[in-house]
Amino acid sequence: MHRTQIYFEESMLQELKKQANMLGITLSAYIRQVLEINLLKEKQGETRLDFSEFAGMWEDRKISKSSIRKDAWNREDAWR
C-alpha cells in the first residue's frame, strides 16, 4: 500500500470522519472505500443523472413539435 497526504477543508474532513465513525471504520478505510466505489462506477461507465428536479416542468404548457419549430423559425436572432 502507498502512503500519501491529502488536504481537506475542515467541513469536509468532519463529514468524512462522521461517515467513517457511523460505519465503524477508520477514516483512511472510509476514504479508500468511497474512492474505490467511485472509480468502479466510472470504469463501468455508470452515470446516474437525477432529473427529478425537472420532472413535470412542462406539464401545464401546451408544447408540441410544431410549436417549437414555429417559434424557432420566427426568431430573428436564430440564424445570427
For 17-58, the pLDDT digits (tens) are: 999 999 999 999 999 999 999 898 888 776 667 777 777 767
Check if the beta carbon of residue 16 is closer than 8 Å to that of residue 30. Answer: yes
So what's the pLDDT on residue 47? Answer: 64
Residue 8: count of CB within 10 angstroms of its CB: 13
Check if the beta carbon of residue 8 is closer than 8 Å to that of residue 16. Answer: yes
* Overall pTM surpassing 0.75 (yes/no): no
Check if the beta carbon of residue 20 is closer than 8 Å to that of residue 29. Answer: yes
